[in-house]
């Protein structure tokens, strides 16, 4: 069983659905040559893909091109369906740092065949995740700096203010499709600068006012 922890609190949340948003930053869409979607692009990861601070990423043998994507993660504290955007932030327990790992070669092959991406996004260790800070400690989640470095070299440096679909809209939209439950996670998309990682790399993702996450690649 995988759990999410809020800093400074004893309560732990059993992780349920991990709902991920693709193509939510214009500069990232451009770097991958994708089209800008009218509605949020949704995919999912299983809870079994989560690893924590100091743990190791294991790249599956069926891929030779694993990419990092640093993201702001949302932890659902109060469940609901068809949540109005104006009430969405009140359903969050906290904010965390996540790295959405993507087997880019496998994803490209699946997309070419019109097949789902799960084997490129949901493999074991595909979701490094920090502890969460309580919601009330983050005054404006749309004004946070996201960075990621590999072996001390900065690769990603963006702001949550650049999201195409903002957090209240995302939570509201997701809740119109899936009933959100306490312990569900939302990964809100990644800014530009994604790139490959390999065995021996040290990967550090940070979000101002939220936290820092360091993992290595086996």
Residue 99 CA to residue 101 CA, distance in Å, equals: 6
Residue 31 has pLDDT above 80, yes or no: no
Q: Name the DSSP letter for residue 78.
A: S
Residue 29 has pLDDT above 70, yes or no: no
Find tokens 């809020």 and name the residue: 6
Give pLDDT, residue 27.
Answer: 75
Task: Using a pLDDT cut of 90, give the percent of the chain over it.
Answer: 91
Q: For residue range 59-90, list pLDDT tens digits in order.
A: 999 999 999 999 999 999 999 999 999 999 99
Residue 36 CA to residue 167 CA, distance in Å, equals: 18
Spell out the domains of the chain, with CATH numbers in brackets.
3-217 (3.90.850.10)
Residue 212 has pLDDT above 70, yes or no: yes
Q: For residue range 119-156, list pLDDT tens digits in order.
A: 999 999 999 999 999 999 999 999 999 999 999 999 99
Q: For residue range 33-45, list pLDDT tens digits in order.
A: 677 778 999 999 9
């Amino acid at each position: 069983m995988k759990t999410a922890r809020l800093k400074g609190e004893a309560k732990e949340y059993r992780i349920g659905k991990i709902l991920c948003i693709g193509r939510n930053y214009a500069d990232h869409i451009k770097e991958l040559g994708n089209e800008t979607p009218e509605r949020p692009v949704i995919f999912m990861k299983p809870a079994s893909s989560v690893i924590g601070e100091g743990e190791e990423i294991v790249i599956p043998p069926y891929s030779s091109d694993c990419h990092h994507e640093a993201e702001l993660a949302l932890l659902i504290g109060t469940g609901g369906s068809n949540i109005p955007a104006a009430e969405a932030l009140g359903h969050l327990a906290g904010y965390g740092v996540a790295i959405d790992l993507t087997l880019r070669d496998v994803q490209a092959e699946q997309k070419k065949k019109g097949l789902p991406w799960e084997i490129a996004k949901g493999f074991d260790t595909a979701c490094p995740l920090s502890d969460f800070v309580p919601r009330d400690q983050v005054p404006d989640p749309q004004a946070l700096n996201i960075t990621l470095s590999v072996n001390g070299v900065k690769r990603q440096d963006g702001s949550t203010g650049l999201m195409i679909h903002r957090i209240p809209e995302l939570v509201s939209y997701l809740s119109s499709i899936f009933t959100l439950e306490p312990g569900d996670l939302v990964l809100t998309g990644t800014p530009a600068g994604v790139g490959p990682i390999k065995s021996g790399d040290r990967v550090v993702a940070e979000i101002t006012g939220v936290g820092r996450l360091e993992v290595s690649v086996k």
